[in-house]
Amino acid sequence: MRYCFLLILCCAILESCASYTKSIRKHRDHYKDEFLMDERSPLDTVGVEGLAFFQPVKEARIEATFVLTPEAEPFELPTYSGITKTYRKFGVATFLWKSDTTTLALYESIRLMGNPMYKDYLFLPFKDETNSISTYGGGRYLNMSKADTEDGSILIDFNLCYNPWCAYSDGFNCPIPPLENHLPFAVEAGEKSYQGTYKKAEDHE
């Protein structure tokens, strides 16, 4: 009886993992398609073939506590092109990564707050110890929603993190992850370094 229970449990776990992996792969297929639908995109059908990802891992899907920061003032976040963009810290997520307790700040764009389509949009830029080794040196991003934070917790899935467009081409204003979002460990999940040909300014002419 105990053997049967363990067998059923193992099968359920394997089925859950397979379903999760399938959902991540579906998300990545959609992610690739979006490059081909945006006229500003740095990648065409050939360029998209250079996108690379870590294998999905459920351990990179983290439940974090979330605390709002309603008193935070807007600030200018630098970008790699030299201009700045105005953001405000919306709140702080605290979570356990293996044996390390750490935090990440989530930000709201002041410019996008006035757009009904993006009024709930939250931005989570971060760096980690994979940068310039197996991932883009400028850090990676996650898109979140204010609705994800309503119960005092937030689910952070690093399998969904992606590169800024600056990883593929010149000519974009990609925010630089603030120091408070520099993680002291490697996040081997999500998008890897671009494997295709980086476009310089003259390539756009």
- The residue length of the chain stands at 205
| Neighbour tally for 185: CB within 10 Å | 13
State pLDDT tens for residues 73-104.
999 999 999 999 999 999 999 999 988 899 99
For residues 118-147, give the mean pLDDT: 97
DSSP run (H or E) holding 2: helix 2-37
Sequence letter at residue 32: K
For residues 137-158, give the mean pLDDT: 96
Would the pLDDT of 1 be above 70? no
154-155-158-164 Cα dihedral, nearest 10 degrees: -50
In angstroms, the CA 41 to CA 38 distance is 5
pLDDT of 52 reads 98
pTM over 0.85: yes
For residues 56-74, give the mean pLDDT: 96
Could you tell me the residue ranges of all domains in the chain? Answer: 52-204
Mean pLDDT estimate for the chain: 90
| Neighbour tally for 188: CB within 10 Å | 18
State pLDDT tens for residues 96-111.
998 889 999 999 999 9
Residue 19 — pLDDT band, cuts 50, 70, 90?
confident
pLDDT of 17 reads 65
